[in-house]
Structure 1
């Protein structure tokens, strides 16, 4: 039951993060909105990682979250994300279109933020190692 409750908390967090992130994206808040969007993107990626790997401890979790976000950002150096974005709004949200080095810092901040939350809630959900 604890694992189910843990996953429900993660799903609720992901839904809330997605709603806030889409709101910021659709309304637009300039540079501050872009950086907030990067932080929220990393939080969402982290929560999705927790759904798949709920036993992941906080430090490897932060590294995996930041690493995956960075991988997606560097993937934007190829032509594929921009091509996919022309065909799909969802693809644009997931992969972006163009590499932007300043996005790398918000990803780390988001990974640390969601990792800190994970470290705090983890003791309340005894997840076997």
Structure 2
């Protein structure tokens, strides 16, 4: 798969993940919805990473996706995300508002899912981009 087709596929994945995540967030499904939302958030982060770095190896993708998600979660221990969440719905979606340790597990699951799909669909290294 060439880099352009790969990025287009990732963009479709991002759109589907965003729509699903917003649906889960806006409709609400209780605790299951919260955890599904966390896993979808991690999938979105992983897809954004792949959009920028399409040749990233799956294990590194898993680690970097989980690392970004955990960093955002631990950032919620500071006062800024809560302040931003009060002012903007988008900021609340991106940064959350309060630290919640049980959210850390769904991030790992979502990161693992996107890394597994990436590993499964990857057929050797992507070709170099044309000059």
Q: Output one character per residue of 1:26-60: Cα deviation in whole Å (capped at 9) or x when no partner.
A: 00000000000000000000000001111110000
CA distance in 2, matches of 1:80, 1:27: 26
SS at match of 2:54: coil
> TM (normalized to structure 1)?
0.95
2:20 counterpart of 1:20? yes
Shift of the alpha carbon at 1:126? 4.3
| C-alpha contact 2:55 2:125 (8 A) present in aligned 1 | no
| C-alpha contact 2:35 2:103 (8 A) present in aligned 1 | yes
CA distance in 2, matches of 1:34, 1:45: 17
RMSD: 1.4
Correspondences of 1:1-129 after superposition (within 5 Å): 2-123=2-123, 126-128=125-127
SS at match of 1:66: helix
Q: What are structure 1's unaligned runs of at least 5 residues?
A: none
Q: Count how many residue pairs are aligned between Structure 1 and Structure 2.
A: 128
| C-alpha contact 1:55 1:128 (8 A) present in aligned 2 | no
Instruction: Please list every run of at least 4 consecutive aligned residues from structure 1 whose deviation after the TM superposition is greater than 3 angstroms.
Output: none
Shift of the alpha carbon at 1:121? 1.2
